[in-house]
Amino acid sequence: MEYLQRNARKRIDPQQVLPGARSVLCLAASYTVPSSEFRVPSLSRSETRNPKPETSNGVVARYARYHDYHDVLGPRLKQLTGFVNRLGGAGTRSLWYVDTGPLLERDLAQRAGLGFVGKHTNLISRELGNWIFLAEIITTLELEPDLPEKNRCGTCARCIDACPTHAITGPFQLDARLCISYLTIELKGPIPVELRPAIGNRIYGCDDCLAACPWNRFAREGKLMKEHGRRDLEQPDLIELLSLDEAGFKRKFAGTPILRTKRRGLLRNVCVALGNIGDTTDLPALQRAARDPEPLIVEHARWAIDRIQKKSGAKEGKD
């Protein structure tokens, strides 16, 4: 997370992003789908004691079950930015960003009236719920601002209670070092051993705090992202993923956000998931992974093997 420090001054001063900036247009795109289409449960520590299904399936955060949203939203933002420049006339300059620019996008979105920052530190829209992508156009064109949205969390604390690793340390306070999204995506090294059991079968991100929010019941289905969905990422088979070589990984996840983790990161996560929900039938695949040329995969595969063997031994002892 060092990039946050590098761009800290720009994040609090839009003039350093675009000299002469007068306005920021904040936009949201929904990726809500009917709840019936998302029946892949993330397993908690207690639930992993239940009988294992025929296949070991992982859970991917909802936003990553599509083609990369940067690629989907980017061309549309580019077109809209051109319109803004034409609207402002000669000399108008604008820049667009999709989750990548040095802007405090959630704070700006709240100031623009798109939604409010919830206790889980993500933006909540009264119309779109929690399942939204944010984008911005910063421009030298002066526009009349919309009214800001006020916080509407009230006394609700469902998102705090839902966090598997207790990363939400208090209302509006997040310890990113404990967040499963950070651990499975941004973290490049080993996942801390003490946090691995709480990850369950999540292999890319976590939606638990977002899914717990009662504002989701008002969300409308998103049309923009719907056609870009990847059904094969809804219930990925962990054993199949563990067999991917470098070429296979790139081929399977081409054009998706999951490429960010690289093969080493994703297979690290898969090993942790198998360690949490797997049984002895998964050991051959994990033993092959324990001979992988990538040390990060080897270390997590060995952890998973040891965990399954201990669970198996404990079960046999009870029998």
Q: Residues with catalytic annotation?
A: 99
DSSP code of residue 128: T
**Residue 55: CB atoms within 10 Å:** 12
Token look-up 């996840």 returns 253
Q: Which two tokens stand for residue 268?
A: 């690290």
Please state whether 187 falls in left (phi above 0), alpha (psi between -120 and 50) or beta: beta
Sign of CA dihedral 10, 12, 17, 19: negative
Task: Outline where DSSP puts E strands in 87-230.
Answer: 94-97, 116-117, 123-124, 132-139, 168-170, 173-174, 202-204
In order of 65, 91, 211, 231, 283, the CA distances from 207 in angstroms are 12, 43, 6, 17, 28
Q: Please, what's the largest Cα pairwise distance for the chain?
A: 80
